[in-house]
């Protein structure tokens, strides 16, 4: 899945595997993929990302007044998870549903760890022979158990969207990815040779979570570490921001051309 922004909207370009079967017991990366030329547009503006940054900064400011030490990566995880969740399902994470984020995060980490284990690699390569042996079968079962936690959360969100789905609005832009995808499923329901199915939707949700969540949080955590160990760089960034940005607002993409040092640091 590729996504890019244009005119304040997010556009998805999807690739799917024609070999994904709902009954498959083994999670695998399929080498054969088919690109689907569609334009799935939804109104997820950059302003919503800035709002999530505001939530994160407010949370840090509140917590730093109570403790001398903070685990900064946790805040990045909540922010990145909320942005991904909002794009997929239209909701962010807060104190009422943070446990869902932690469950998905923990299960994703365990799945990634298991994927690296030689026993699982061998079992996935030969699922009909080696994969059936008890020793190797155990690793597959562990993987499916943790993947089941993530898919359980995705299924719950998809089912909630299905309950509110209005077939009469299929030509309108969707508010989130799942709504847009369900509209595509509805449009294609009487056609053959397409891959707009619920199993594909579940796997695409997993792709976006797995591909973005840890990468975003880790990137920002490392950036903070570099700033801590390079106070001169931190000072120059601060001076540039003070010169360009007033203290009553956040940085926006409109400020990019006026912040060359900040751009150099990010790159």
Q: How confident is the model at residue 75 (pLDDT cuts 50, 70, 90)?
A: very high
Tally of structural domains, the chain: 2
* Domain shared by 126 and 256, yes or no: no
* Domain shared by 159 and 237, yes or no: no
Two structure tokens written together for 240: 């540039």
* Domain shared by 188 and 97, yes or no: yes
pLDDT of residue 15: 40
pLDDT of residue 195: 78
pLDDT of residue 170: 65
- 56: Cα separation from own chain's centroid: 17
Instruction: Please give the model's pTM, rounded to 2 decimal places.
Output: 0.78
Question: Which residue matches tokens 């940085």?
Answer: 251
The whole-chain average pLDDT of the chain stands at 81
Question: Which residue matches tokens 């926006």?
Answer: 252
* Domain shared by 42 and 93, yes or no: yes
* Domain shared by 237 and 210, yes or no: no
pLDDT at 2 over 50: no
* Domain shared by 177 and 266, yes or no: no
* Domain shared by 71 and 155, yes or no: yes
pLDDT of residue 196: 84
pLDDT of residue 44: 56
Q: How confident is the model at residue 60 (pLDDT cuts 50, 70, 90)?
A: very high
Using CA atoms, how far apart are residues 12 and 2, in angstroms rounded to an integer?
6
For residue 14, the cross-strand partners are 36
pLDDT of residue 175: 82
pLDDT at 36 over 80: no
* Domain shared by 177 and 236, yes or no: no
Helix axes 72-89, 134-163, angle to 10 degrees: 60
Q: Of 52-66, 70-84, 183-197, 220-234, where does mean pLDDT reach its minimum?
A: 183-197
pLDDT of residue 171: 63
Residue in 129, 101, 106 with CA at minimum distance from that of residue 26: 129
pLDDT at 69 over 50: yes
pLDDT of residue 169: 76
Compute the radius of gyration of the chain from its Cα atoms. 21
* Domain shared by 252 and 201, yes or no: no
Percent of the chain residues past pLDDT 90, beyond the cut = 44
The residue range of the domain holding 61 is: 2-229
For residue 11, the cross-strand partners are 4, 41
pLDDT digits (tens, 9 = 90+) for 141-199: 999 999 999 999 999 999 999 998 887 776 677 788 899 889 888 888 888 877 788 99
* Domain shared by 51 and 36, yes or no: yes
Question: Which residue matches tokens 């943070």?
Answer: 98
Average pLDDT for residues 198-203, to the nearest whole number?
Answer: 90
Two structure tokens written together for 110: 């365990």
Kindly report the CATH number assigned to the domain that includes residue 52: 1.10.630.10
pLDDT digits (tens, 9 = 90+) for 112-126: 999 899 998 898 889
Evaluate whether 92 touches 84 at the Cβ level (below 8 Å): no
pLDDT of residue 86: 92
In degrees and rounded to multiples of 5, residue 121 shows phi and psi of: -60, -45
The DSSP call for residue 29 is -
């Amino acid at each position: 899945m590729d996504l890019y922004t244009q005119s304040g909207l997010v556009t998805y370009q999807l690739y799917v595997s024609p070999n994904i079967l709902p009954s498959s017991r083994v999670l695998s990366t399929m080498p054969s993929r088919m690109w689907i030329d569609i334009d799935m547009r939804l109104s997820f503006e950059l302003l919503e990302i800035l709002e999530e940054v505001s939530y994160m900064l407010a949370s840090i400011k509140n917590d730093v007044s109570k403790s001398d030490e903070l685990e900064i990566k946790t805040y990045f995880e909540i922010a990145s998870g909320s942005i991904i969740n909002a794009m997929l399902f239209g909701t962010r994470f807060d104190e009422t549903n943070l446990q869902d984020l932690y469950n998905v995060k923990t299960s994703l980490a365990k799945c990634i760890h298991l994927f690296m284990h030689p026993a699982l690699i061998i079992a996935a390569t030969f699922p009909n022979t080696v994969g059936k042996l008890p020793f190797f079968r155990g690793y597959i079962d562990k993987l499916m158990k943790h993947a089941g936690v993530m898919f359980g959360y995705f299924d719950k969100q998809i089912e909630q969207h299905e309950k509110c789905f209005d077939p009469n609005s299929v030509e309108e832009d969707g508010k989130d990815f799942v709504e847009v995808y369900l509209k595509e499923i509805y449009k294609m329901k009487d056609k053959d040779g397409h891959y707009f199915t619920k199993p594909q939707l579940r796997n695409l949700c997993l792709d976006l979570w797995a591909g973005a969540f840890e990468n975003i949080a880790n990137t920002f955590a490392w950036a903070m570490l570099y700033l801590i160990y390079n106070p001169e760089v931190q000072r120059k960034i601060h001076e540039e921001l003070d010169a360009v940005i007033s203290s009553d607002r956040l940085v926006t993409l409109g400020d990019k051309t006026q912040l060359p040092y900040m751009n150099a640091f990010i790159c």
